[in-house]
Amino acid sequence: MTQLPPPSAKKLGLVIDLDTCVGCHACVVACKGWNTENYGAPLSDQNAYSGAASGTFLNRVHSYEVQPDQGAAQLIHFPKSCLHCEDAPCVTVCPTGASYKRAEDGIVLVNESDCIGCGLCAWACPYGARELDANEGVMKKCTLCVDRIYNENLPEEDRQPACVRTCPAGARHFGDLGDATSDVSKLVAERGGFDLMPEQGTKPVNKYLPPRPKDVEPEFDILAPYLEPVAQDGTGFAHWLDKALSALPGGPK
Amino acid sequence: MHPAPSVIIFNTFSGLGFGLLFWLGMGVLVPTGWAAFIWFVIAYLFAVGGLIASTFHLGHPERAIKAFSQWKTSWLSREGICAVFALITMAIYGAGLVFAGTRLGVFGVVGGLASLGVVFTTSMIYAQMKTVPRWRHWTTPAMYLILSLSGGALLAGQIKIAAVLLIVGGVLQIFAWGTGDRRFVEAGTDMESATGLGHIGKVRAFEPPHTGTNYLMREFIHVVGRKHADQLRIITIGLAFVLPVVLLLLASNHLIAALAVISHIAGVLALRWLFFAQAEHVVGLYYGKR
Ligand code: SF4
Ligand code: SF4
Ligand code: SF4
């Protein structure tokens, strides 16, 4: 049913640390690797070995340059996948009931055998978290690796989403954001985790942790007095040397 | 938004077809026998032809029957139900006129209103999208209804009704464009809110997540051709509204009426193209585009 269930107590989701993500795209590859051979239709590629490659991915990493009023610009890598929103507009627009939110843990999924591939749920998602697979004609999206996290055939440490398991920087955290005492909830509280596009009213479960403020270099340097630039006033040996060297072909002017 | 030809054709022709069914149902013209047969064939060709075109963009049209199930929340589902109801009711009404020469008034009125209901539910698919600020406004359903009513009246040869509705439609469209141009900015979603990095400074897309294109960029980020939007708007107003009104006022022979209809359809096709091509989805912000 595409009516949203009442808010669940358990809200499984991701917390992504924009301070530590190094933009390696390992999570993108791990996600595609796991999800192309497990839950639902495979994630197809078109023209994979040509100049016009295109394909279906459930997780993508953007990179942004942020220019503060003062000081140097910062480069911030920005992984983005489904945020498993509480007020998920992608669920209510679906005409077939294929798009649904689980009442027990809040995961948003697509039942692919009901999906007619109308694309409306992707229209309704502000985050670009849904992609219609060009080969299969059904809507694909992050499943929060629902087939890993509850999978008792996997060793305990592997029962988390593939992206979280693979991230070499520890920038991705998985847990229950409905439980205020969980590690992820504490992390969000400590670091000031935030929502993407809060004005869209989707109430995302996934949170993002802001980059920590950059250190400011102090002006003072103990050696500075001894390293003053060459005198500009035009006297002495240094001045003569400067002029002599500048006069040589290719010398600085 | 990508202006998919199948969706443009659906919106244009179904709108006209259901508009014609509305006027037929309301008894503004009451043909019988063969004449009624021809009127209903025209209306159904437009309405059903458009609906069939709209299934071309589905990934799995063979499962379309499932789309009738979620009417409680989904405007697309409501549209499907409304369309089937309107087409069946109007078929009964039409059969009465064609075969028995009698007007089953109740079926006409109910079917006519349901025909408008189809147009309204279609428009709400677009108007509900918070992600596309240009569409999320009362002018979206209002324009859909006016276009359907005026185009239907034009097809039905109701000169006075058509002329008045076309004038109202032209004015409303200019208003919708004028206010729509500002709505993305007014909605307050920008790269800073999309990334949550605005507290640090001005955000610029540095590197996209992929070297090629993807579904999102094909479907939602359509910037090609937008530069001709101003000329197209003038052409649209001219063809869809001004020229048909002038032609209607000039004379009343069939050739000129046909010209008015053709001009109106061409204008509405351009109008629908603009409706999609100029609609900006907020997801473009993640790519530094609008
Ligand atoms: S991120 Fe998009 S696809 Fe995921 S729940 Fe929210 S609106 Fe739906
Ligand atoms: S693409 Fe599939 S899941 Fe999405 S709204 Fe259409 S039928 Fe539902
Ligand atoms: S694997 Fe971790 S560090 Fe690498 S891009 Fe993904 S989130 Fe960032």
Three-class SS state of A17: strand
Pairing of strands A59-67, A45-46: unpaired
* Ligand 3 atom at minimum distance from A59 CA: 6
Nearest residue of chain A to residue B81 (CA atoms): A95
Interface test with B, best of A17, A32, A56, A65 (most B CBs within 10 A): A65
Cβ atoms of residues B277 and B222 within 8 Å: yes
From the list B60, B281, B287, the residue facing A115 with the nearest CB is B60
Domain assignment present for A203:
yes
Let me know if residue A240 belongs to a domain. Answer: no
Give the pLDDT band (50/70/90) at residue A36: very high
Report residues whose beta carbon is within 6 angstroms of any ligand 3 atom: A 21-27, 61, 77, 79, 167, 169, 171-172
pLDDT at residue A3 tops 90 = no
A125 lines ligand 1 (CB under 6 A): yes
Q: Tell me which residue has its CA closest to atom 7 in ligand 1.
A: A125
DSSP state of A194: B
A169: contact with B, CB 8 A cutoff: no
Mutate to test the pocket of ligand 3, among A18, A21, A34 (most ligand atoms within 8 A of CB): A21
Q: Which ligand 1 atom is at minimum distance from the Cα of A204?
A: 6
A178 pLDDT higher than 60? yes
Structure confidence at residue A58 as a pLDDT band (50, 70, 90): very high
DSSP class per residue in B42-110: HHHHHHHHHHHHHGGG-S-GGGGGGGGS-TTT-HHHHHHHHHHHHHHHHHHHHHIIIII----HHHHHH
| CA–CA distance, B276 with B286 (Å, rounded to integer) | 20
Tell the residue nearest (CA) to atom 4 of ligand 1: A82
Distance CA A170, CA A168 (A): 6
Nearest ligand for residue A125 CA:
1
H or E element at residue A15: strand A12-17
Between helix B139-155 and helix B33-54 the angle, nearest 10°, is 150
**What integer pLDDT is reported at residue A230 of this predicted model?**
56
Min distance B222 CA to chain A CA atoms (Å):
14
What was the pLDDT predicted at B1? Answer: 92
Q: How far is CA A25 from CA A22, A144, A146, in A?
A: 8, 17, 21
Predicted local distance difference test score (pLDDT) of residue A246:
80
**How many angstroms separate the alpha carbon of residue A124 from the centre of ligand 1?**
8
In a domain, A245, yes or no: no
Ligand 2 and A124: CB distance under 6 A: no
pLDDT at B176: 97
Position A7 in a domain: no
Domain spans of chain B? 5-287
Task: Give, rounded to a whole angstrom, the gap between the first and last alpha carbons of chain B.
Answer: 10
Report pLDDT for A253. Answer: 55
**Residue A139: is its pLDDT beyond 90?**
yes
CB A77, CB A102: distance < 8 Å: no
Q: Give, for all 290 residues of chain B, the pLDDT tens digit.
A: 998 899 999 999 999 999 999 999 999 999 999 999 999 999 999 999 999 988 888 999 999 999 999 999 999 999 999 999 999 999 999 999 999 999 999 999 999 999 999 999 999 999 999 999 999 999 999 999 999 999 999 999 999 999 999 999 999 999 999 999 999 999 999 999 999 999 999 999 999 999 888 999 999 998 776 778 889 999 999 999 999 999 998 876 888 889 999 999 999 999 999 999 999 999 999 999 87
Work out how many domains chain A is built from and give that number. Answer: 1
Give the distance from residue B51's alpha carbon to the nearest chain A alpha carbon, in angstroms: 13
Q: Minimal Cα–Cα distance from B243 to chain A, Å?
A: 35
Q: How far apart, in whole angstroms, are the C-alpha atoms of residue A92 and residue A98?
A: 10
* Residue A196 within a domain: yes
State whether the beta carbon of A108 lies less than 6 angstroms from ligand 1. yes
pLDDT digits (tens, 9 = 90+) for A208-233: 999 998 887 766 667 766 766 655 66
Q: Is residue A5 part of a domain?
A: no
Residue with tokens 């010398």: A251
- Residues paired with residue A13 on neighbouring β-strands, in sequence order: A175
Look at residue A218 in the predicted model and tell me its pLDDT. 67
Q: What's chain A's Rg over C-alpha atoms? A: 26
Least CA distance to A208: which residue of chain B?
B196
Domain-located, residue A117? yes
Q: Does A7 touch chain B (CB under 8 A)?
A: no
Would residue A224 count as lying in a domain? no
**Torsion on CA atoms B163, B168, B170, B171, rounded to nearest 10:** 150
CATH code, A200: 3.30.70.20
To the question of domain B5-287 being in CATH 3.30.70.2500, the answer is no
Of B59, B70, B197, the CB nearest to A64: B197
Domain containing A28 equals: 12-209
Please tell me the distance from the alpha carbon of residue B289 to that of residue B1, in angstroms, as a whole number: 12
Ligand lying nearest the CA atom of residue A92: 2
